[in-house]
Chains A and B, each alone.
Chain A
Amino acid sequence: QKEVEQNSGPLSVPEGAIASLNCTYSDRVSQSFFWYRQYSGKSPELIMSIYSNGDKEDGRFTAQLNKASQYVSLLIRDSQPSDSATYLCAVSSGYALNFGKGTSLLVTP
């Protein structure tokens, strides 16, 4: 069973702080890694993709990948109340994505 594990949270951070979201995966051959954001009642929205070890930055978001440790993380700098959502980690497996169950993030004003 190829698994993707995330802490369900909720993770609560004050406005302006850095939110750190973590994910581990079991399938060593996975090549593509994604972070999706899902607001309540909405569909998942792709916010970051990462394919090689190291950091990838896009605006306030930084994705980090360590394939040796089978670990993916997402940092959100200068967190805003509008960032409050569930963040889903997804890992490629064949023609599908395996998703974690998501971490709920709450950014408090």
Chain B
Amino acid sequence: KAGVTQTPRYLIKTRGQQVTLSCSPISGHRSVSWYQQTPGQGLQFLFEYFSETQRNKGNFPGRFSGRQFSNSRSEMNVSTLELGDSALYLCASSLRGMDTNEKLFFGSGTQLSVL
């Protein structure tokens, strides 16, 4: 069974640009979550989607948005990039979401560098 797939693996952008990251969950998983990882703040929750609906959102500005498609694939978008957005963005999937004692599996991540 294929794992969580994230593309692209690396991205370099400049301040003010926008970026879209893609995530394909494990087959059969309907919940997709996004996390940001930085050396200073660690892993921080961005948002979670289930059946195309955002069920939970972390404490990030509105420049960070996401969506989920009917096939459970998800994208996240960051607009008006800032230097502080440089981070590893991790997508994770589970069958139904973390409220049901499930396990969360991570993709390899997208390393975003903002210059």
Interface, chain A (partner B; CB < 8 A): 31-32, 34, 36, 42-46, 49, 51, 88, 90, 92-102
- Residues B98 and A97 in contact, CB atoms below 8 Å apart: yes
15 pairs across A/B with beta carbons < 8 Å? A31-B101, A34-B103, A34-B104, A36-B106, A46-B103, A46-B104, A88-B42, A94-B55, A94-B56, A95-B98, A96-B48, A97-B45, A98-B45, A99-B43, A101-B42
Complex interface: chain A residues within 8 A of B104 (CB): 34, 46, 90, 97
Known: A32-B98, A34-B103, A102-B42. A95 touches B109 (CB 8 A): no
Bound form: Cα–Cα A44–B108 in Å: 8
Q: Which of chain B's residues has its CB closest to A45's CB?
A: B106
Bound form: Cα–Cα A94–B43 in Å: 16
- Residues B98 and A51 in contact, CB atoms below 8 Å apart: no
Known: A88-B43, A94-B98, A95-B31. A43 touches B50 (CB 8 A): no
Contact with A along B73-115 (1 / 0, CB 8 A): 0000000000000000010000001110111111111000000
Bound form: Cα–Cα A42–B97 in Å: 23
Bound form: Cα–Cα A95–B100 in Å: 9
Known: A43-B109, A98-B45. A49 touches B103 (CB 8 A): yes
- Residues A42 and B108 in contact, CB atoms below 8 Å apart: yes
Interface size class of chain B, counting residues whose CB lies under 8 Å from the partner chain: 20 to 34
Interface, chain B (partner A; CB < 8 A): 31, 33, 35, 41-45, 48, 50, 55-56, 58, 90, 97-99, 101-109
- Residues A94 and B107 in contact, CB atoms below 8 Å apart: no
Given A42-B108, A46-B105; 5 other pairs, CB 8 A cutoff: A34-B104, A95-B48, A95-B99, A96-B58, A98-B45
Bound form: Cα–Cα A101–B42 in Å: 5
Pick from B35, B97, B106: contact of A95, CB under 8 Å: B97
Write the nearest CB–CB distance from A29 to chain B, whole angstroms. Answer: 11
